[in-house]
Homo-oligomer: A and B are copies of this chain.
Amino acid sequence: MNFVPSPVPDPQAPGMLIRKLESIAPLSAGERQGIEGLPMRIHNLNARQDIVRDGDQPTHCCLILDGWACRYKLLSEGKRQILSFHIPGDIPDLQSLQIHRLDHNLATVTKVRVAFIPHESLGELTAKHPSLAAVFWRDTLIDAGIFRERLVSMGRRSAFEHIAHMFCELYLKMQAVGLAGNFRCSLPITQADMADALGLTPVHVNRVLKEMRDQTLITLRSSTLVIEAWDELLRVAEFDATYLQLRKRAAG
A75 with B152: CB separation less than 8 A: yes
Interface centre among A73, A130, A133 (most CB of B within 10 A): A73
Report which of B137, B143, B155 forms a contact with A81, defined as CB distance below 8 A.
B155
- A residues 39-96 in Cβ contact with B at 8 Å: 71, 73, 75-76, 79-81, 83, 95
Report which of B103, B141, B156 forms a contact with A98, defined as CB distance below 8 A.
B141
Interface size class of A (residues with CB under 8 A): 35 or more
A138 interface residue per 8 A CB criterion = yes
B138 with A98: CB separation less than 8 A: yes
Report which of B75, B76, B137, B145 forms a contact with A137, defined as CB distance below 8 A.
B137
A interface, over-half SS: helix
A184 interface residue per 8 A CB criterion = no
A183 interface residue per 8 A CB criterion = no
B99 with A145: CB separation less than 8 A: yes
| A84 to B156 alpha-carbon distance, docked (Å) | 15
A134 interface residue per 8 A CB criterion = yes
A199 with B130: CB separation less than 8 A: no
- A residues 196-252 in Cβ contact with B at 8 Å: 196-199, 238, 242-243, 245
A144 with B75: CB separation less than 8 A: no
Q: Which residues of B contact A111 (CB under 8 A)?
A: none
Given contacts A154-B199, A155-B199, 6 further A-B contacts (CB under 8 A): A75-B156, A103-B148, A103-B242, A103-B243, A140-B141, A144-B147
